[in-house]
Structure 1
Amino acid sequence: MLGKYIRLIVAILIIISSVILFIYGFVGWGVLAVIISLLFVLFQFKNEMNLLAFSFIRKNKFAMAEKILLKVKHPENMMKSQEAYYYYLLGLTQAQTHQLNLAEKSLKKALSTGLRLNSDQAMAKLSLAGFYLSKRNKKLAKVHLMDAKKLDKQKMLTPQIREVENMMKRI
């Protein structure tokens, strides 16, 4: 639990040292110290492993993203929103590397932990609907698909939703 706050303590100490540097006339070093402290504060709210994995996912390098995410030893020690996105990214990478059972568990964990954005929740629900369709569980797939439709207010996932609906008609 203490690990969550170490970055903030370090950032406060660096801010104090930057004030001292400004007082003694070392403005350049003071500005550098402020920038470094801002990085510590940024990484308090955005986990660097999640950011790195997200950049690999954008480049379609899912195996590398999964490898980076699996380096995290205790995701439960992250802030709740970071933990949710950790499981969300892990579920997406596992789905792309054809580990469907693990992906299903990760996406369920992400939804239960609390994804913030409706579009991310919709994507997770849509992926779960696809997993349940592949297992021939039409009832659960329909529930998740309806949830995904409700959450997709910007209509970004409309083609994927139609595709899953067409697959559902065939089963």
Structure 2
Amino acid sequence: MPNFVRLIISFALLGASVALFIFGHWGWGIPAFLLAIIVFVTFFFNENMLIAQYFLRKENMEKAQQWLDNIKNYEKQLIRAQHGYYNLLIGLIESRKAPMQSEKYFKRALSLGMTMDHNVALAKLSLAGIAMAKRNKREATMYLQEAKKADKNKLLADQIKMMQGQMTQMDRTIIKGGYR
């Protein structure tokens, strides 16, 4: 459902609840007002995205993919601030199936922008992992440094340290293997 329809429905429900309050039907006015608030909140936070995030936290990728598939045209169904998060969620799901294919989603998520720093750090950390898999040390180091800067609350500090350890281990295998 397009966002402007959600706004129309929420304002219609708000008007109906005000009318119910005026005519003294408080028992019906309060639930109508709460329903108007819920519909208005879905303008900013798409319910499909919220449910997909829930299933991602529960490690159920199939269900998360199903809920994200309900969004047919994300540019019309989501507000501009959610476009980056939509691509981040798709990238996280794709990284489980085909890690190299998820790179374009993470890059698109970063280019569209995200407001939360830890999500930016997550996207850059994922791109660093993809660059390491491609044996591109310079790009991986750059993404790791950017992820470290973006992770202000140190939510991904352990993953960043682990990735840096893997990078030094990758250097040792290259030197021992004679690829220097």
TM-score calculated relative to the size of structure 1:
0.93
Asked if residue 51 in structure 1 is aligned to residue 50 in structure 2, the reply is yes
Deviations 1:8-33 (A, max 9, x none): 11111111111111111111111111
Kindly indicate whether residue 162 of structure 2 is the aligned counterpart of residue 163 of structure 1: yes
| 1:132 alignment partner, SS class | helix
Aligned residues: 169
Structure 1 CA distance for aligned equivalents of residues 36 and 101 of structure 2: 37
| Unaligned 5+ runs, structure 2 | 171-180
Q: Structure 1 residues 33 and 6 mapped into 2: Cα distance closer, same or farther (>3 Å)?
A: same
Identity %: 37
Number of the residue aligned with 1:146? 145
| Counterpart residue number, 2:110 | 111
Code of the residue aligned with 1:95 in structure 2: it is S
Distance 1:161 1:79 in 2: 31
State the 1:106 CA deviation: 1.1
Aligned-partner residue type, residue 63 of structure 1: E
- CA positional deviation for 1:38: 0.5
Report deviation, 1:80.
1.5
Q: Deviations over 1:74-133 (max 9, x none)?
A: 01222122111111111111112x311332111111111111100110011001100110
Q: CA deviation at 1:3?
A: 2.6
* In 1, Cα distance between equivalents of 2:61 and 2:7: 31
> 1:80 aligns to what?
80
Give the equivalent residue in structure 2 for 1:36: 35
State whether residues 125 and 144 of structure 1, in contact with CA within 8 Å, keep that contact through their aligned partners in structure 2: yes
- The code of the aligned residue for 1:84 comes to G
The match for 2:178 is none
* Mapped partners of 2:66, 2:28: distance in 1: 37
Query: Residues of 2 paired with 1:21 and 1:102: CA distance?
Result: 53
Query: What TM-score comes out, normalization by structure 2 length?
Result: 0.89
Aligned to 1:21: 20
Map residues 97-136 of structure 1 onto 2, 5 A cutoff.
Answer: 98-136=97-135
Whole-angstrom CA distance in 2 between matches of 1:66 and 1:140: 29
How far residue 148 of structure 1 moved from its aligned partner, in angstroms, is 0.3
The structure with the largest alpha-carbon Rg is 2
Q: CA deviation at 1:164?
A: 1.0
- Amino acid in structure 1 at the alignment position of 2:100: N
**Structure 1 stretches of at least 4 aligned residues deviating more than 2 Å after TM superposition:** none
CA RMSD across the alignment:
1.4
Unmatched segments (≥5 aa) in structure 1: none
**Range 122-131 or range 16-25, more displaced:** 16-25
In structure 1, what is the Cα distance between the partners aligned to 2:15 and 2:90?
A: 38
